[in-house]
Amino acid sequence: MNRHETPARVVVYVLLIWLSIIFIVPFVWLVSTSLKPDSQILHFPPIWIPNPVQWKNYSEGLTSIPFALYLGNTLFICVFSVLGTVLSASLVAYGLSRIPWRGREVLFYCIIGTMLLPPQVTMVPVFSIFKSLGWLDTYLPLIFPHFLGGAFNVFLLRQFFRTIPKELTEAARIDGANEWVNYRYIVMPLAKPALWTVGLFAFIASWNDYLGPLIYLFDDRKYTLSLGLAMFRSQYSAQWGQMMAVSTVVTLPLIVLFFFTQRTFVKGITMSGIKG
């Protein structure tokens, strides 16, 4: 780094630090509120450091709802959502990137075009379909769509698959390998960063999903953590301390997961052609 690059780099670092502070403030406020007594939560001006620290918000919050049951329900949905997303999106992306056939580009653009439709537009007809199938109050409406791929996931994996040298699969075909062998033993092992990225996206989406369980689940024994958090709110008030405590516990797994997978996550993004 020469002396001409130093001022510009310092400006970039200062800007990044400032933006990091802006993004971390909500989480700091979440943790701070989870440790406050009720008298300090809505105090103005805001009190950032709770005094005294109310650790009982965590114990009371985690015991006031069946947290373990909701955690198990959420993990069940997340695991099958990740499996369905990775399997279906990788199969579609392989067919669109590694197998030459007429019309694949047109189909790919049609798939990308579905991203223009917001979920609110298709919410009513999709609900009607699941109702006619008798899937209401089950986990199928929350899991089955992930086995149908997804435009963004297909796009990300397709871009990554295109970076894998074609000579590898062509050489395997000469040796007698079919497309399934190429997909299973050549492309998939080389695409682990992109697969981890897609799986992480699917896990976060299912973990944070509130609208889906709210629409399709009626039995409170099947609720997820996102619906369990809503139980802390009543018609006239809310148990803010306990709600923030449970929200902190629900948020921490995502932070820890991203912390341990950030290198693979960044690699999967940058090598998929959507960096910048």
* Domain extents in the chain: 1-54, 65-270
Q: What is the pLDDT of residues 119-145, one digit of tens each?
A: 888 899 999 999 999 999 999 999 999
Whether pLDDT at 274 is above 80: no
Residue 3: what pLDDT? 62
pLDDT tens-digit readout, 14-54: 999 999 899 899 999 999 999 998 888 888 888 888 888 88
Q: What is the average pLDDT across 247-261?
A: 86
The architecture of the domain spanning 65-270 is Orthogonal Bundle (1.10)
Q: Regarding predicted confidence, which is higher, 115 or 76? A: 76
Confirm whether pTM is higher than 0.75: yes
pLDDT, residue 47, reads 86
Return the pLDDT at 276.
40
HEC per residue, the chain: CCCCHHHHHHHHHHHHHHHHHHHHHHHHHHHHHHCCCHHHHCCCCCCCCCCCCCCHHHHHHHHHCCHHHHHHHHHHHHHHHHHHHHHHHHHHHHHHHCCCCCCHHHHHHHHHHHHHCCHHHHHHHHHHHHHHCCCCCCCHHHHHHHHHCCHHHHHHHHHHHCCCCHHHHHHHHHCCCCHHHHHHHHHHHHCHHHHHHHHHHHHHHHHHCCHHHHHHCCCHHHCCHHHHHHCCECCCCECHHHHHHHHHHHHHHHHHHHHHHHHHHHHHHHCCCCCC
Banded pLDDT at 258 (limits 50, 70, 90): confident
pLDDT at position 275 is 45
